[in-house]
Amino acid sequence: MQRLGYTIALFAAATLAQLPGATTAHAQQALELPAPSPAAKVAQRVGLTDISLDYSSPAVKGRVAFGGVVAWDKVWRAGANAATKLTFSRDVQFGGQPVKAGTYALAALPTQKGWTLILNSDLAVFGGGKEYDQKLDVLRVPAKTEAIAPRERMIFAFANTADDATRLDLEWDKLRISVDIRVDTAAQAKAGIEAMAKAAWRPYANAARYLSETAGDHAGALALADKSLALEVAWYNLWIKAQILQRTGKEGEALELAKKADELGLKDPNYFYKEAVEKALKEWKKK
């Protein structure tokens, strides 16, 4: 009966497409049918790391899932249709193995003795008949399995999520396949704090530039420039202060600071004011 309904829908769509005035858009709209294995997505933030998984979700439909639909001892795409894609925004430990931030094809190797989960670098694998290539595996890790209440449609889910860990579960039929994912949240947070502290001079420098150039408050700008330089001496904040001094008529001090800014800037590949500094040096020397 289900097959008959599907055939009638296709016949109706084909008939509509042949009618006078019928458009391709109308025909395509009539052909839109539920996918046997619909697309799905699950995501979880673990500490500072975003983890997401895109897959297609098959159903049991009265079949034998494992050892039937999914053959033993053969790499499976851990889903249906195209490759299942697992994305990490930061480096993680996947099943105890280090993995760099990025997107990977997630596959599985089921055996009656145990399961292995695979991360492969080829995101086009399993799509359009493309064969799986073991040489492109990033890693293979053993997975945990346990019996569950029957689940008709396959899902992925995150469980036991903490600041530095989560568990990725694949559930289908009467089986759960799990792998632990760990992230070094403490180290990541510490690195972020250190980076923020190291760059703390920049907001003062930018504020000084704004006050001087836009608001005309050179005294306030000079105070902020000095705060910036007290935290770290860089070509950028030296150049900001040099301009403030030049605007207030202190050409000699401005010239000396511009020279120091140029010396430091020439050592920095991101010396984006090089032309402006060197032009100022030439002009200020003439005064």
* Rounded Cα distance, 226 and 278, in Å: 22
Same domain, 137 and 74: yes
Which helix (H) or strand (E) segment holds residue 10: the answer is: helix 2-18
Last residue of a domain, one of 142, 157, 184: 184
The predicted structure's pLDDT at residue 132: 93
Same domain, 100 and 121: yes
Same domain, 155 and 223: no
CA nearest neighbour of 218 among 198, 243, 244, 199: 244
Examine residue 203 and state whether it is found in any structural domain, yes or no. yes
Same domain, 126 and 248: no
Examine residue 191 and state whether it is found in any structural domain, yes or no. no
Name every residue whose Cβ is closer than 8 Å to that of residue 163 and which is 6 or more positions away in sequence: 46, 47, 185
Identify the three-state secondary structure at position 127: coil
Same domain, 28 and 43: no
Same domain, 111 and 232: no
Same domain, 43 and 180: yes
Per-residue pLDDT of the chain (287 residues; tens, 9 = 90+): 434 343 434 444 444 445 455 455 555 568 888 889 999 999 999 999 999 999 999 999 999 999 999 999 999 999 999 999 999 999 999 999 999 999 999 999 999 999 999 999 999 999 877 889 999 999 999 999 999 999 999 999 999 999 999 999 999 999 999 999 999 999 999 999 999 998 999 999 999 999 999 999 999 999 999 999 999 999 999 999 999 999 999 999 999 999 999 999 999 999 999 999 999 999 998 77
Examine residue 25 and state whether it is found in any structural domain, yes or no. yes
Same domain, 209 and 251: yes
Counted domains in the chain? 3
Q: With contact defined as beta carbons under 8 Å apart, do 159 and 134 qualify? A: no
Q: With contact defined as beta carbons under 8 Å apart, do 188 and 161 qualify? A: no
Last residue of a domain, one of 126, 150, 184: 184
Classify strands 97-99 and 92-94 as parallel, antiparallel or unpaired: antiparallel
CA nearest neighbour of 276 among 213, 198, 227: 213
The predicted structure's pLDDT at residue 146: 97
Q: What is the residue type of 272? A: F
Q: What CATH number is given to the structural domain containing 250? A: 1.25.40
Same domain, 71 and 146: yes
Q: Length of the chain in residues, anyone?
A: 287
Examine residue 192 and state whether it is found in any structural domain, yes or no. no
Examine residue 193 and state whether it is found in any structural domain, yes or no. no
Same domain, 237 and 136: no
Cα Rg for the chain, rounded, in angstroms?
31
* Rounded Cα distance, 65 and 57, in Å: 13
The predicted structure's pLDDT at residue 28: 55
Residue span of the structural domain in which 28 resides: 1-33
Which helix (H) or strand (E) segment holds residue 92: the answer is: strand 92-94
Name every residue whose Cβ is closer than 8 Å to that of residue 53 and which is 6 or more positions away in sequence: 41, 42, 43, 84, 85, 86, 87, 106, 156, 168
Q: Look up residue 243 and give its two tokens.
A: 């301009």
Same domain, 53 and 147: yes
